[in-house]
């Protein structure tokens, strides 16, 4: 199991995409590289990513989490108007309220507060001591060992993508396809959102722009049949990756959630062990609503990972924490903007460091 390497190249959009009306142009603004004719070598381990690229991810995560960072920086700084602060009931309740404002939820906030109480109760705590303890607890809460993409070594790798309407699902699929194409992977997309003509058209534009093949069907067709044909195409034509879109739906719509289950079963019948990934796209701006979405979709199709979209400076990124706590689902990617390559691997260490950017530097010993 390995994460596809993230080497990026760029080129101009295809003529077919450029000829489309402006209203139909996808949201992303950077095109993918020209397609490679042959399959690339085996994916490299995430640890092989250059250090300077990891540092670039930290800068981008810091920018994307600036709303949460501003909350933490301002409010926690206010806790330390004096040189130190006595850890008493008032301090602990103030800290709990600050943490909840980041959308991490009362459970995670409570665990962090309990750790601070255990370490510093009735003692004077300094800002650097507090930050070290809070960050250590957050790393513990966010720890995940299965964050790499599950790759089918025999090929192809089948990825099913689900989410509610407006979660950024189509954009995330385009970014994933761009990621794989930049590695020379041969990609086929399955346009399984057969309820919205615009969804198929938008994905078709992206397939042309990215140099990917796409499998479509008339509006109103059975989405499971589209998924089956997409997987069949991937198997018979030796594609490396098959990404299957599904119609956006509310997790409370039982008939539509049952349909997702059918799509999942049909994929498995065509290729044993597939889908290898079931990625749930969650809108990072949806706050605690994301918890309900994660619960509903996981029950329906056994999601294997999260793509947290729209973490672009407007979202409170703390919602990652209760998702990890309640469902154990690894966050595999974070969408940090509208560019084609604004999809980066999630790293708990990087995420925690970004949350406290600025404040952590202020707390360094003088």
What distances in angstroms separate CA 320 from CA 184, 225, 239, 307, one per listed residue?
A: 31, 34, 33, 10
For the cut 80, the answer to whether the pLDDT of residue 31 exceeds it is no
Residue 240 pLDDT: 98
> Confidence class of residue 313 from pLDDT cuts 50, 70 and 90?
low
135: CATH: 1.20.120.140
Handedness of CA 308, 266, 149, 295 (dihedral sign): positive
Q: Is the peptide bond before 275 cis (omega within 30 degrees of 0)?
A: yes
Domain interval for residue 77 = 62-144+356-362
- Tens digit of each residue's pLDDT (9 = 90 or more) over 235-287: 999 999 999 998 765 555 666 777 888 999 999 999 999 999 999 998 877 76
- Tens digit of each residue's pLDDT (9 = 90 or more) over 316-331: 677 788 888 877 788 9
Q: Say if residue 139 is in the same domain as residue 246.
A: no
For the cut 60, the answer to whether the pLDDT of residue 7 exceeds it is no
- Dist. CA 178–CA 31, nearest whole Å: 8
The pair of three-digit structure tokens given for residue 228, joined into one six-digit string? 């089956």
Q: Say if residue 66 is in the same domain as residue 206.
A: no
For residue 91, how many other CB atoms are within 10 A of its CB?
A: 19
- 27 within some domain: no
Strand partners, 307: 281, 333
- 56 within some domain: no
Q: The whole model's pTM is what?
A: 0.77
Q: Say if residue 125 is in the same domain as residue 168.
A: no
Residue 40 pLDDT: 32
172: CATH: 3.40.50.300
- 18 within some domain: no
Residue 217 pLDDT: 92
Q: Say if residue 275 is in the same domain as residue 341.
A: yes
- What percentage of the chain has pLDDT greater than the value 90? 40
For the cut 60, the answer to whether the pLDDT of residue 39 exceeds it is no
Task: Considering only residues 53 and 133, tell me which one the structure prediction assigns the higher pLDDT.
Answer: 133
Best CA proximity match to 324, nearest among 32, 131, 108: 108
Total domains in the fold of the chain: 2
């Amino acid at each position: 199991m390995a994460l596809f390497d993230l080497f990026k190249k760029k080129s101009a959009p295809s003529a077919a995409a450029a000829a489309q009306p402006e209203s139909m142009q996808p949201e992303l603004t950077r095109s993918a590289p020209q397609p490679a004719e042959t399959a690339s070598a085996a994916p490299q381990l995430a640890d092989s990513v250059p250090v300077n690229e990891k540092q670039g991810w930290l800068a981008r995560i810091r920018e994307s989490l600036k709303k949460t960072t501003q909350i933490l920086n301002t409010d926690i700084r206010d806790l330390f108007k004096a040189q130190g602060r006595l850890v008493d009931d008032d301090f602990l309740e103030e800290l709990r309220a600050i943490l909840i404002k980041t959308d991490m939820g009362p459970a995670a906030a409570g665990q962090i507060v309990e750790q601070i109480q255990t370490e510093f109760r009735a003692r004077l705590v300094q800002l650097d001591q507090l930050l070290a303890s809070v960050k250590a607890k957050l790393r513990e809460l966010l720890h995940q060992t299965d964050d790499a993409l599950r790759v089918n070594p025999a090929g192809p790798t089948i990825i099913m993508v689900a989410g509610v309407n407006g979660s950024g699902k189509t954009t995330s699929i385009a970014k994933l396809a761009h990621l794989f194409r930049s590695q020379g992977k041969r990609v086929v997309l399955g346009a399984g959102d057969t309820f919205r003509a615009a969804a198929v058209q938008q994905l078709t534009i992206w397939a042309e722009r990215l140099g990917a093949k796409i499998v479509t069907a008339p509006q109103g067709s059975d989405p499971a049949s589209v998924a089956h044909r997409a997987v069949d195409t991937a198997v018979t034509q030796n594609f490396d990756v098959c990404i299957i879109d599904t119609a956006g739906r509310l997790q409370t719509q039982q008939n539509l959630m049952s349909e997702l289950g059918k799509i999942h079963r049909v994929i498995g019948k065509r290729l044993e062990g597939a889908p290898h990934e079931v990625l749930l796209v969650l809108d990072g701006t949806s706050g605690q609503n994301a918890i309900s979405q994660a619960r509903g979709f996981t029950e329906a199709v056994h999601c294997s990972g999260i793509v947290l979209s729209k973490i672009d400076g407007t979202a409170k990124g703390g919602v990652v924490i209760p998702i990890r706590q309640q469902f154990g689902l690894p966050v595999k990617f974070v969408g940090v903007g509208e560019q084609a390559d604004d999809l980066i691997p999630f790293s708990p260490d990087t995420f925690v460091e970004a949350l406290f950017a600025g404040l952590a530097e202020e707390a360094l010993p003088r």
